[in-house]
């Protein structure tokens, strides 16, 4: 499943980079996100997986929000996801608890980032921020703090 998810992310990022939409508000069943105008985004659904791919070109920052139907604890999901990232060539920290979520930091070549992983027992979510600089990662985290509102509080981090 993880290779399928990786292929899905690569495909969606390719589609996303080829076309863009003006950022406004993203509404789903489980969250609302007020995205700054400087960010572009695309949404996709496939095989039960919901994904939002966002980009801020000026800072070379990408953010994804992925929701997958999977009955797994947040801790187990974070451990498996970290292992998959390592297999993908990323340098990844050990998952650390952050409120109701787990967080890992990651780096590959000149890119660095952070991933937040949660579970409500039926679904898992992963919010990934990947940027060309640590300052851009922090700015993206501020965008999450200001604009992201969880409608399913068990599925998303209580803090970024």
Q: Residue 95: is its pLDDT beyond 80?
A: yes
CATH class of 2-150: alpha beta
Quote the pLDDT of residue 24: 84
Please report the pLDDT score of residue 85 as a whole number: 96
pLDDT band for position 114 (cuts 50, 70, 90): very high
Phi-psi region of 55 (alpha: psi -120 to 50; beta: other; left: phi over 0): beta
Can you give the pTM of this predicted structure? 0.84
d(CA 50, CA 44): 6
Residue 52 near residue 33, CB atoms below 8 Å: yes
Mean pLDDT across the stretch 57-80? 96
Q: What is the DSSP letter of 132?
A: S
Q: Say whether pLDDT at 48 is over 70.
A: yes
Q: What percent of the chain has pLDDT over 90?
A: 79
Mean pLDDT over each residue of the chain, to the nearest integer: 87
| pLDDT given for residue 10 in this prediction | 45
Mean pLDDT, residues 70-82: 96
Note the pLDDT of residue 3. 42
User: Which of 22-31, 52-61, 64-73 is predicted least confidently?
Assistant: 22-31
Domain segments of the chain as ranges: 2-150
- Does 2 or 147 have the greater pLDDT score? 147
């Amino acid at each position: 499943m993880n290779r399928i998810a990786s292929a899905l992310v690569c495909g969606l990022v390719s589609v996303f980079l080829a076309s863009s939409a003006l950022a406004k508000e993203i509404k789903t069943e489980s969250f609302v996100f007020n995205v700054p105008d400087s960010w572009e985004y695309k949404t996709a659904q496939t095989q039960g997986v919901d994904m939002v791919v966002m980009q801020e070109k000026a800072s070379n920052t990408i953010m994804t929000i992925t929701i997958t139907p999977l009955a797994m604890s947040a801790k187990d999901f974070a451990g498996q996801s970290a292992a998959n990232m390592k297999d993908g060539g990323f340098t990844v920290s050990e998952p650390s608890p952050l409120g109701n979520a787990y967080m890992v930091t990651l780096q590959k070549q000149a890119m660095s980032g952070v991933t937040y992983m949660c579970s409500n027992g039926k679904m898992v979510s992963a919010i990934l921020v990947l940027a060309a600089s640590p300052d851009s990662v922090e700015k993206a985290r501020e965008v999450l703090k200001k604009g992201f509102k969880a409608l399913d509080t068990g599925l998303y981090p209580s803090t970024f």
